[in-house]
Amino acid sequence: MVLAEGGALLRESLAAMLERFGFEVVAAVPDAVELESAVAEHRPDLVVTDVRMPPGFTDEGLRAAVALRRTYPGLAVVALSQYVELSYADELMGAEGGRVGYLLKDRVVDVEDFVSTLRQVVAGGTVIDPMVIQQLFRRRRDPLAQLSPREREVLASIAEGHSNAAIAAQLFITESAVGKHVGNIFNKLMLPPTDDTNRRVLAVLAYLHRDEVG
């Protein structure tokens, strides 16, 4: 297996613990870039990765996990996180063939249970922490829940009828940055790439109906 964990002490502790339980840790790496390189080199049957790793400590590990499953469809992947990080979680959970897990570190209280979960995933199972499932369900009910705070600000300004240039001035960012945020909003709300004017209207409708969700 390949282990990816940003914290040096935790990485070494996890590697030693897993080896005591019979896992062969062929590489223990600190970031997503080295994770992808290690998987390409060793072709393991299991990857255990932290979700938030250098350099940004956001969702690097989760994005790497999704990319690895695309490249190696049969690879078993277990994501570990201190928090429920929903970006890319849907894509990982929906991977064909199972063999995925998403666990919250604070809720892993028994080493033998954790090891049993890893073996269950390797054997073809899917194990998701109930809190992750709950958050994913809420996000599916509320399409705006997956927007970042800045994207919500941009969408609120769009709803007020502002152009990209006006939004850039209002938020003290570049017009190019606003354009990227708008594109992210369209993608996250799954608005088809047709006419941008129509997509702005549909995005505003989603924003205005947000309080009706649930």
Amino acid 133: pLDDT:
73
Look at the chain and report how many structural domains it folds into.
Answer: 2
Amino acid 130: pLDDT:
80
61: left (phi over 0), alpha (psi -120 to 50) or beta: alpha
On whether both 164 and 85 belong to a single domain, the answer is: no
Q: State how far the Cα of 124 lies from the Cα of 104, in Å rounded to an integer.
A: 20
Q: State how far the Cα of 63 lies from the Cα of 91, in Å rounded to an integer.
A: 10
List, in order, residues 6 or more apart from 87 with CB less than 8 Å away.
58, 59, 62, 63, 146
Amino acid 195: pLDDT:
56
On whether both 132 and 161 belong to a single domain, the answer is: no
Q: Of 90, 107, 140, which residue is a domain's last?
A: 140
List, for residues 157-170, the tens digit of each pLDDT value: 988 888 999 999 99
The angle, 0 to 180 degrees and rounded to 10, between the axes of the packed helices 149-159 and 196-208 is: 100
List, for residues 58-113, the tens digit of each pLDDT value: 889 999 999 999 999 889 999 999 888 776 777 787 666 678 999 998 888 889 99
Q: State how far the Cα of 36 lies from the Cα of 4, in Å rounded to an integer.
A: 10
| CA geometry: angle 24, 28, 30, nearest 5 deg | 165
- Residue ranges making up the domain that contains 84: 2-140
On whether both 135 and 154 belong to a single domain, the answer is: no
pLDDT-above-70 percentage for the chain? 88
Q: State how far the Cα of 38 lies from the Cα of 47, in Å rounded to an integer.
A: 10
Single out the residue of 22, 17, 168, 138 nearest to residue 80, CA to CA.
Answer: 17
Amino acid 211: pLDDT:
54
List, for residues 187-207, the tens digit of each pLDDT value: 888 776 655 656 787 788 777
CATH number at residue 67: 3.40.50.2300
Residue 28, CA distances (Å) to 41, 48, 121, 122, 131 in order: 13, 10, 19, 18, 27
Among the ranges given (4-8, 26-30, 78-82, 97-101), the one the predictor scored with the smallest mean pLDDT: 97-101
Q: State pTM to two decimals.
A: 0.66
Amino acid 213: pLDDT:
45
Amino acid 132: pLDDT:
80
Contact call for residues 185 and 154 (beta carbons, < 8 A):
yes
On whether both 176 and 82 belong to a single domain, the answer is: no
Q: Which two tokens stand for residue 129?
A: 């922490």
